[in-house]
Amino acid sequence: MPGMPFLLDPRLEKDTLSVCEFELCRVLLMNDRRYPWLILVPRLYGAVELTDLSERDADRLWDESLHTCRTLKAAYPRGKLNVGTLGTVVSQLHLHHVVRHEGDAAWPGPVSEADPYEEKQGRELAGRLAGLLEG
Amino acid sequence: MPGMPFLLDPRLEKDTLSVCEFELCRVLLMNDRRYPWLILVPRLYGAVELTDLSERDADRLWDESLHTCRTLKAAYPRGKLNVGTLGTVVSQLHLHHVVRHEGDAAWPGPVSEADPYEEKQGRELAGRLAGLLEG
Segment B95-99 shows an average pLDDT of 97
**Residue among B51, B73, B100 whose CB faces A70 most closely:** B51
Asked if pLDDT for residue B38 goes beyond 90, the answer is yes
pLDDT at B2 over 80: no
CB contact under 8 A, B87 and A81: yes
Predicted pLDDT at A2: 63
**Cβ contact A84–B86 (<8 Å):** yes
Q: Is ipTM > 0.90 here?
A: yes
* Structure confidence at residue B1 (pLDDT): 58
Which pLDDT tens digit goes with each residue over B52-83? Answer: 999 999 999 999 999 999 999 999 999 999 99
Closest CA to B34 of B79, B73, B77, B75: B79
SS3 string, chain A, reads: CCCCCCCCCHHHHHHEEEEEECCCEEEEEECCCCCCEEEEEECCCCCCCHHHCCHHHHHHHHHHHHHHHHHHHHHCCCCEEEEEECCCCCCCCCEEEEEECCCCCCCCCCCCCCCCCCHHHHHHHHHHHHHHHHC
Yes or no: say if A27 and A135 are a contact pair by the CB < 8 Å rule: no
| Interface probe with A: pick from B86, B95, B99, most Cβ of A within 10 Å | B86
Is B49 in contact with A81 (Cβ distance < 8 A)? yes
**In the predicted model, what is the mean pLDDT of residues B109-116?**
85
